Amino acid sequence: MTDRYAVIGHPVAHSKSPWIHAEFARTCGQDIEYTRIEARLDGFERAVDAFRAGGGKGLNVTLPFKEAAFRYCSRPSERARRAGVVNTLSFGAQSSGDTTDGIGLVTDLGKQGVRLKGVRVLLMGAGGAAQGVAGALLDAGVAALVIANRTVGRARALAERFPGLRACGYGDLEGKTFDLIINATSAGLEDKAPALPSGVMGKAAFAYDMVYGRDTPFLASARAAGARTSDGLGMLVEQAAESFFIWRGVKPDTGPVLARLRAA
C-alpha cells in the first residue's frame, strides 16, 4: 500500500514540497503519495487527527502551525524540544516531531562554501523560522549569534531558550558588522526589508534570505554593498531531504532537484 504524506499550512497552495518529495520518491524508488492540506487557522489539530485516522504516515508543517505541531506531538526530538517548533511529524502508535530547518540551512550554507565555525552571525527575525535554525547555528560553532527583531521582546524570549544568543532591535546594530547575515523574516514576501542600519552589511559578508523564488529588497541591498548573496531555495530542498530521511530512511540526492527548481 502506498504510504501517504502531506504538507499542512495556511496558506499552502504555493508550497513546492509536493513536487520536491515526488522527485525524491522517484529517484529513491520509494512508493509514496504527498499532497497539500490547507487547515483552518483554528483547525490544525482536527486536520492532523483526520489525516492520521485515514492512515497518513507523516506531515511537513509550515506557517503558521510549527509551534502548534510542537504542542501536538507526544515525542519531540531533542532539537525540536530546544527550538519549541516542529516541521516534521511522523505517525505510528505515537506522534514524533522533529525540526529540520536548522540542518537544512546549515547544509545549504556548507554547500555554498560558507564557513560557520568562528564567524559572527546576525539572524534577523524571531518567528518560527528563526526559532528553528538558532540551535543549529550555535552547534555549528559560530563565534557570536545576535538575533534582531522588529518586536524586540520576541527576540529576547528566543534568546532565553538558547544560552549564547544575544537579542536586540535593528537600531541597536548601529556600528556593528557581521560575517553572515541571515534574513529569517517574512518581510521579503511584501517587498520590504528589516530596517538594518547602513554599514552592518560589509563587503566581506554573506547575505542569506530564507525567502525564495524572488529577489528581495534585502538581497538587493546586500548586493549593492558588495556582499555575496543567496535565497532560501537550497534550504527548502535540504530541509525536505532531512524530512524524507526521517520518514523513509533514505537520503535523496538534492543537487538535481535544486537545479530543476532553479531552472523552473
Q: Tell me which residues are annotated as active site.
A: 66
201 binds ligand NAP (CB under 6 A): no
Among 15, 99, 100, 185, binds ligand NAP (CB under 6 A): 185
Burial class (CB in 10 A: 0-12, 13-18, 19+), 77: middle
Residue 31-70 contact track with ligand NAP, rule CB under 6 A, x = bound:
--------------------------------x-------
User: CA 218, CA 238: separation in Å to the nearest integer?
Assistant: 22
In the structure grid, which three cell numbers stand for residue 221, read together?
541591498
User: CA 138, CA 182: separation in Å to the nearest integer?
Assistant: 14
- Facing residues of 7 across strands? 36, 60
- Residues in region 6-25 near ligand NAP by CB under 6 A: none
H/E element holding 60? Answer: strand 58-61
How many residues of this chain interact with ligand NAP, rule: CB under 6 A? 27
- Smallest gap, in angstroms, from Cβ of residue 211 to ligand NAP? 5
| Cβ-contact 136, 105 below 8 angstroms | yes
71 binds ligand NAP (CB under 6 A): no
SS3 at position 206: strand
154 binds ligand NAP (CB under 6 A): yes
Q: Pairing state of beta strands 95-98 and 75-76? A: parallel
Stretch that binds ligand NAP, among 6-14, 72-80, 187-195, 200-208 (CB under 6 A): 187-195
| Cβ-contact 126, 150 below 8 angstroms | no
Residue 165-184 contact track with ligand NAP, rule CB under 6 A, x = bound:
-------------------x
Nearest CB to ligand NAP, comparing residues 143 and 214: 214
Among 189, 191, 199, 256, binds ligand NAP (CB under 6 A): 189
Give whole-number Cα distances, 32 to 29, 94, 144, 247, in Å. 9, 21, 41, 10
- Smallest gap, in angstroms, from Cβ of residue 76 to ligand NAP? 18
- Residues in region 78-137 near ligand NAP by CB under 6 A: 101, 104, 125-130
In the structure grid, which three cell numbers stand for residue 19, read together?
513536487
Amino acid at 129: A
Nearest CB to ligand NAP, comparing residues 6 and 134: 134
Q: Which of 20, 13, 236 is nearest to 133 (CA)?
A: 236
Nearest CB to ligand NAP, comparing residues 97 and 232: 232
151 binds ligand NAP (CB under 6 A): yes
194 binds ligand NAP (CB under 6 A): yes
H/E element holding 105? Answer: helix 101-111
150 binds ligand NAP (CB under 6 A): yes
Binding site for ligand NAP (CB under 6 A): 63, 101, 104, 125-130, 149-151, 154, 184-187, 189, 192, 194, 210-212, 232, 235-236, 239
